Amino acid sequence: MNTAKTSLKLAAAGLIAIATLSGCANMSHRQQNTAIGAVGGAVLGSVLTGGDALGTIGGAAVGGVIGHQTGRH
């Protein structure tokens, strides 16, 4: 049962991420990287901490910083 709930949560998070990122057309490349990093970090933080809010927020923050730094010269 927990596996089904986890799969459902991940699928919902993926759909939300796709819907959110589709609005990135007018963003700069750096802003897109930051948003993608934040979403990916939030999902990963949530999965690794079992859905803990602090883990999700921390993952989003770390992912956003990493995404922002990606591609810097």
- Cα-Cα-Cα-Cα dihedral sign, residues 5, 50, 64, 66: negative
- pLDDT number for residue 61: 93
- Which of the four pLDDT bands, split at 50, 70 and 90, describes residue 13? confident
pLDDT tens for residues 20-64? 667 767 888 888 888 889 989 988 998 898 888 888 899 999 999
The pTM for the full model equals 0.66
In the chain, the number of structural domains is 1
Contact 40, 63 (CB under 8 A): yes
Tokens of 10: 């991940």
Q: Which tokens is 59 given?
A: 């993952």
Give the domain extent around 61: 2-69
